[in-house]
Chains A and B, each alone.
Chain A
Amino acid sequence: MDMPAPSLSILSRKARIVDRLLEVLPQDAVIHDENEVRAYECDALAAYRCPPLVAVLPRTTAEVAAVLRLCLAEGVPVVPRGAGTSLAGGALPTADCVILGVARMNDVLEVNYADRYIRVQAGRTNLAVTGAVEGDGFFYAPDPSSQLACAIAGNIAMNSGGAHCLKYGVTTNNLLGVTLVMMDGTVMEIGGPYMDAGGLDLLGVICGSEGQLGVVTEATLRILPKPEGARPVLIGFESSEVAGACVSDIIKAGVLPVAIEFMDGPCIKACEAFAKAGYPDCEALLIIEVEGAEEEIRHQLRLITDIARRHNPVEIREAADEAQAKRIWLGRKSAFGAMGQINDYMCLDGTIPVSSLPHVLRRIGELSREYGLDVANVFHAGDGNMHPLILYDANLPGDQEKCEALGADILKLCVEVGGCLTGEHGVGIEKRDLMGVQYAPADLEAQLRVKDVFDPKWLLNPAKVFPLQVTASRRAG
């Protein structure tokens, strides 16, 4: 994965840049020691690392504005960072950049139950947003699997999803407003505690812009009343095709579960070996969760299991109590850990139309054999967001490159059937060079023009999202 060569001019000005940062930030908010900046050398895409020039940890919007103004004046690239949990390299530094971390900005600013919103500083973790309101029966809906650690700032940058977005939507559907600091230090309030934009939907384009348009320091988020209850059912099938057909029939029947999770044979076996959740030995497994009061849950589960029975399931397992519900989720929730035990793995994130599921799974199987690398599939079946896990050996020379090539082929397959490169992890550096597969030059140019408007000097997270050769002339300017 190429990154732009660092600017020698910036590297040579490090002392001066640090001094200027110390003029606008407290001493403990500027990290410039060569060893200490290593803490910021990578995010959760840990295969790629590069210590930044400096890392700053401001505590207020005014401090963020001061840092950005200064970086603009010095021509220094800025890489915004939430909690550093990006799986796509969204927070990967370059040697000549300032990492702007919002982790110290984690206060709750306002909770309003009558109007159902919460306003927080953007460094607050996803789970701590729900934590602030759950005692009163509310929650924040998007639930990425990193929710214990990931920050709202990063959720907004990547438009994060989660297991329950089939019903509740992703970040963009639950975001009401942001305080946005532009690269020139201008502070803007976009949106707020009301439901729609007065003019252009700027909030809509800021969400998911991977930290390239501005730095979000505060967010107004929609909170929802917690459902009365929730319960999963586990259904095993003889083949992925049959499981896929069952998902389609459930959706057509008008049942809208909060989650439909899918695991294929290799994934089931690995999870079973690791977590011993007692999953049936089969080729495909669905975990479907429904919500509501007891009687509503029973009714929806009856509809779902009636449909499933028409597809000759290997097993249908309903949870009789909380402990059994936990066991059903246990294997799925430990899927990534289980894979990590077996091997190094790369987690993909393409989305496909649900109808092409059987075809895509068959092709992934063929590609896996061609490359000689095992692939386990686990994904959000209701919305077609796949997470194929490619197993490889990082210590074996050439294996990582082979794994990346297989990953690229699988993502191209997703686009070929009408899907996309990334459903919830973001492009970052990981899928940057594949953007041309999904978008024609004019499509990309339109997106680049949006960045030109927000960040004319291309200093915010400049080496991400778009192929480097496409952005070269802009980054140079």
Chain B
Amino acid sequence: MRPETETELCEIIRGAAGPLAVRGGGTRGRAVAGAVLETGGISGIRLYEPGALTLVAAAGTPLAEVEAALAAEGQRLAFEVPDLRAVLGRAGVSTLGGVVAENAAGPRRVQVGACRDFCLGVQFVDGRGDLIRNGGRVMKNVTGYDLVKLLAGSRGQLGVLTEVALKVLPRPETEATLCLPGLSDAQAVAAMAAALGSPYDVTGAAHLPGQGTFLRVEGFEGSVCYRAGQLAAVLRGFGVAEEVAGPWAAIRDVAALVDVPGDLWRLSVRPSDAPGLVARMGAEAVVYDWGGGLIWARLAPGCDLRARLGDFVGHATCLGGGDAQAEPAPEPAPVAALAARLRAAFDPRGIFAGAV
């Protein structure tokens, strides 16, 4: 099934007798049982006002189409959408709805936020088949509950997105990347904390063990040059920072783990805890992003990382790899119960029960 309009989508969901397997570009998520419902038919940019930094598009719009339209006006999606197809061994074409449903965020997350922080409004069809609108297309909006944030990152559990309104940002004039070579994981996280705690607007802080610790500044040329210099001075205690071509696309897409076999894990943690967690993890390879707040790790297939780590601040999600299925991070019982009741409120018949 591939509805072309919101009305058709509502009818399909209303008429569904059992679970549906909702598919955007098929680049993420896990294979679930049920009739396949493709979202790509509801597609196209519906409004773009560069002067208001606002773009509204149907959820099935290919991400590439959105990025091209923005690039033509010197703008971009600031949250830096990762392309995980290679590391997950998937094909497909990312859609805007999928990006929002995953609350995607790349290295720039540390400074500007994730996709949810740029979502101004959503339209979606819930499990009853009702079309629901929330938010709008303006940057400040506290009218009623913020279901926009709830839908962002809900991975299809509450409804099928049909339209999203996004805040976009100007593409900066230039960028510079500093690299500190040879730091231990603990030194690297300390260096990244020093950089992120400086007033020099660091927009990327990642550590690739064995390759170096990378810090990015962006903006107007004179300003970038000044801040890169200041930053190098702040980091003097960690060694001599050299300016390099930024490997940010590789960091964003977790390229360092593409050729490492095993299950892919993603951990969201308190940055200063990261080196200790990695030391206990027994991973084949890791990548630190977000100043250490995000850890990507490859572990031997089937390894129960959560059991190995025990209690820690944050959460770990297995994204699969090979034959492994994605498994969501477990939540404390009262939170899990609340989330289950919310899912039932939006989807009482379990049409989206397969989405995790």
Interface flag for B271 (CB, 8 Å): yes
A contact residues around B51 at 8 Å (CB): 248-249, 251-252, 354-355
Q: Does A449 contact B (CB under 8 A)?
A: yes
Contacts A248-B51, A425-B142, A450-B345 given; indicate if A200 touches B223 (C-beta within 8 A): no
Instruction: Determine which residue in B110, B173, B341 has the highest number of CB atoms from chain A within 10 A of its CB, and name it.
Output: B341
Is A313's CB within 8 Å of the partner chain B? Answer: no
Q: How near does chain A come to B71, taking the closest CB pair, in angstroms?
A: 13
* CB-based contact A195/B126 at 8 Å: no
Query: Is B133 in contact with A439, judged by CB distance below 8 angstroms?
Result: yes
Chain A contacts to B: CB under 8 angstroms = 112-116, 137-138, 158-159, 161, 165-166, 169-170, 172-173, 182, 186, 188-190, 192-205, 207-209, 225-228, 248-249, 251-256, 292-293, 295-296, 299-300, 351-355, 380, 383-385, 418-427, 431, 435, 438-440, 442-447, 449-454, 465-466
| A188 to B131 alpha-carbon distance, docked (Å) | 31
State whether A299 touches B272 (Cβ < 8 A). no
- The answer to whether B133 and A199 touch across the interface, beta carbons within 8 angstroms, is no
Give the number of A-B contacts (CB < 8 Å).
265
Complex CA gap A468/B219 in Å reads 49
Measured CA separation A209–B148 after assembly (Å): 13
> Which of A112, A205, A254, A418 is B145 in contact with, Cβ under 8 Å?
A205
Q: Which residues does chain B contribute within 8 Å of A256, judged by CB atoms?
A: 169-170
Show 30 residue pairs from A and B whose CB-CB distance is below 8 angstroms, ordered by the A residue.
Answer: A115-B270, A116-B197, A161-B140, A192-B270, A192-B314, A195-B293, A196-B268, A198-B315, A199-B331, A201-B150, A205-B150, A228-B199, A252-B51, A253-B170, A256-B170, A295-B223, A295-B226, A296-B222, A353-B138, A354-B51, A385-B138, A385-B139, A423-B142, A427-B143, A427-B144, A439-B143, A442-B131, A446-B130, A446-B147, A465-B144
Query: Which of the listed residues B149, B170, B341 has the most CB atoms from chain A within 10 Å of its own CB?
Result: B149
Interface size class of B (residues with CB under 8 A): 35 or more
* B150 partner residues in chain A, CB cutoff 8 A: 200-202, 204-205, 450
Q: Is the CB of B149 within 8 A of A205?
A: yes
A227 to B230, CA, bound (A): 13
B74 touches A254 (CB 8 A): yes
Nearest-neighbor residue (CB-CB) of A173 within chain B: B117
Chain B residue, CB-CB nearest to A197:
B153
CA distance A442 to B127 in the complex (A): 13
Given A198-B329, A384-B52; A423-B138 close (CB under 8 Å): yes
Q: Assuming A204-B146, A420-B141, is B338 touching A188 (CB within 8 A)?
A: yes
Specify which chain B residues have a CB less than 8 angstroms from the CB of A465 in the assembled complex: 144-145
Any A CB within 8 A of the CB of B50: yes
B226 and A293 contacting across the interface, CB-CB below 8 Å: yes
